[in-house]
Amino acid sequence: MAVDSVSPHPAATEDRFDFYWQQQGEWVEEPNQRRGGESGVQRIHDAKGRTLYVKRQVEHTYRSWRYPLGRPTVLRERDALLAMNRLSVGVPELVYCGAQQGADKQWRALLVTAALERFVEIDSWYAAGERDVQGEAIHDRVLESIAATLARMHLGRWQHGCLYAKHVFVRVTGKGDSAQVDVALLDFEKSRQRLTARKAASHDLKQLRRHSSWNTDDWTKLNYFYEKVFGSAIKGLW
């Protein structure tokens, strides 16, 4: 039984699932045991030469009041990626997502996304010396873009749920005044929609502060840019 599938070719959903399930590539996240099942990520290349990431799971589920018997976590991540597109939040392109439950009632699930071309983790961007190369004016724009991205997500009442610096990616194209700054977020496996935007913001921003390397001045700027988009202060976070 196949459920909740997203594919460019809906009529061939099961064939698409089998195709991606059989693909083999380099493990970028070795299969690990958690949530009562197994999950891992491989890097593959499609016929067009694009780099894709295939998250492959067996019995890797979450439970909620809506899904008391369990639901594959990739389906929650898919829901979040689609929501981020509607909110103009940068995320990887969703290529395919599907889940199958066999006669043994065991779930197999897949999430296939395209690589973020020329994006780098924000800490890797700093480690490469890009802050010095680009200058403080561009760095301010990077902070502004990150803040605006997070604020748009939270205004939609979406909580990332695992917002570490390693999940924040940046791409700076060009130099000086003509430079373009893009931001994208990864790993929405623990995401969910909260009752209020403030609850979503409070959780994520506290978590990001604990798991990032920005100094006090950087956080002050990030706070300023965030509140401009969010529309109000989130006290006690900065």
**Does residue 90 contact residue 146 with C-beta atoms inside 8 Å?**
no
Structure tokens at 109: 């699930």
Q: How many domains does the chain have?
A: 2
Residue 238 belongs to a domain:
no
pTM for the model:
0.89
Q: Of 87, 114, 141, which closes a domain?
A: 114
pLDDT at 12: 53
**Does residue 120 contact residue 128 with C-beta atoms inside 8 Å?**
yes
pLDDT at 35: 59
Give tens-digit pLDDT for 90-147: 999 999 999 998 888 889 999 999 999 999 999 999 999 999 999 999 999 999 999 9
76: domain CATH number? Answer: 3.30.200
Single-letter residue type at 231: G
Single-letter residue type at 88: S
Residue 235 belongs to a domain:
no
Residue 28 belongs to a domain:
yes
Mean predicted confidence (pLDDT) in 80-99: 97
- DSSP lists the bridge partners of residue 108 as 58, 100
Q: Of 91, 114, 137, which closes a domain?
A: 114
pLDDT at 7: 47
Hey, CA dihedral for 177, 120, 61, 55, is it positive or negative? positive
- Percentage of the chain modeled with pLDDT above 90: 74
- Alpha-carbon distance of 97 to 74, in angstroms, equals 7
Give tens-digit pLDDT for 184-206: 999 999 999 999 999 999 999 99
Query: Is the per-residue pLDDT at 8 higher than 60?
Result: no
Range of the domain at 188: 120-230
Single-letter residue type at 26: E
Q: How far is CA 222 from CA 15, 120, 133, 219, in A?
A: 46, 19, 20, 5
Pairing type for strands 158-159 and 71-72 reads unpaired
Hey, CA dihedral for 209, 213, 219, 223, is it positive or negative? negative
Number of C-beta neighbours around residue 188 at 10 A: 27
Give tens-digit pLDDT for 35-67: 568 999 999 999 888 999 999 999 988 888 788
Give tens-digit pLDDT for 207-236: 999 999 999 999 999 999 999 999 988 765
Single-letter residue type at 227: E
pLDDT at 80: 97
Residue reference for tokens 């070795």 = 30
- Alpha-carbon distance of 193 to 199, in angstroms, equals 10
